[in-house]
Amino acid sequence: MPVLRLRPPLGELEATFVPAHGLLATSLRHRGAELLGERGIPLLHPWANRLATELPDSPLIPRDEHGLPIHGLLAPYWDVFAATSSMLGAELDFGAHPELLEFFPYPHRVVMRAGVGARTLTVRTTLVAGDEAPVPVSFGFHPYLRLPHVLRSTLALDDLSIPTGASEFAPAESFVRGARTYDDGYASLRRGARFALSGGGRRIVLRLDAGYPCAQVYAPADDDVICFEPMTAPTNALVSGDRLTWVAPGSSYTATYSISVA
């Protein structure tokens, strides 16, 4: 199975991607130390998080503990069109696969470009609508971040102020995780919003550079990972229509996030 490793000659960061597994980022290493949990950084497309609807059983559809569709469709059909020691470009022609269109009947293409600098991984994703019909945008990513050899009791987290709706506001805060758990959604995020975790002499910052107005923060009780999930729409937007963006035929939508390590 082809594996693509990105590491600039003088960089401290190395990223590994597997096109046949949905262009999954399976590893992100800083000075040789692994910063991802075993599930890596999957692309969640054509929907991030859960859908409150019934879909036929299919091996292409992951489901949560309640049987709801979650985290999009499993699509291994990525074609790599560019690759160097520090960047890659790959494309998924979604409309060329009837088994995908059965569950998301909107022909389109997804183009992903990933680049690794000295201390930063940047991922730029573009959805290009087909020529015949508009396409709803609801993709995201699920980075399973971790700091090696750091106990939960000493793991520090902080973020920028996050507005979560007309009547609720989550202020900036910095805290030690300890036994705290999260599975919370945020919307109306400003461009450049960021989330950070630090410990053991390292600090990881995930930044929503453009196109991600929503996010999910997930920190389970039974794992040492912290997930800050960039999302182009709120959970269940394909069903609810809440803040759902549609791309006109022949047009595109681009979103970018980055992960920096110091």
Task: Report the topology of domain 4-261.
Answer: Beta-galactosidase; Chain A, domain 5 (2.70.98)
Residue for token pair 């790959």? 90
pLDDT, position 225 = 85
CB 133 within 8 A of CB 107: yes
First-last CA distance in the chain? 32
Q: How far apart are CA 140 and CA 137, in angstroms?
A: 9
Q: Rounded to an integer, what distance in angstroms lies between the CA atom of residue 59 and that of residue 74?
A: 8
How far apart are the C-alpha atoms of 175 and 255, rounded to whole Å? 29
Give the pLDDT score at 195. 92
- Cβ proximity of 111 and 78 under 8 Å: no
Is the link from the previous residue into 46 a cis peptide, with omega within 30 of 0?
Answer: yes
216, 48 in Cβ contact below 8 A? yes
Domain ranges of the chain: 4-261
pTM flag (> 0.85): yes
- Which residues are CB-contacts of 219 (< 8 A; sequence separation ≥ 6)? 177, 180, 181, 182, 183, 225, 226, 227
Question: Which of 65, 81, 87, 91 minimizes the C-alpha distance to 252?
Answer: 91
pLDDT at 186: 85
State the 10-residue block means of pLDDT for the chain, 262 residues long: 92 97 98 95 97 94 94 97 98 98 98 98 99 98 90 53 43 58 84 91 96 92 86 96 97 99 94
Return the HEC string of the chain. CCCEEECCCCCCEEEEEEHHHCCEEEEEEECCEECECCCCECEEECCCCECCCCCCCCCCCCECCCCCEECECCCCCEEEEEECCCEEEEEEEHHHCHHHHCCCCCCEEEEEEEEECCCEEEEEEEEEECCCCCEEECCEECCEECCCCCCHHHCEEEECCEEEECCEEECCEEEECCCCCEEEEECCCCCCCEEEEEECCEEEEEEEEECCCEEEEEECCCCCCEEEEEECCCCCHHHHCCCCEEECCCCEEEEEEEEEEC
- Which residue is associated with the tokens 């399973």? 144
* Angstrom distance (rounded) from CA 76 to CA 186: 29
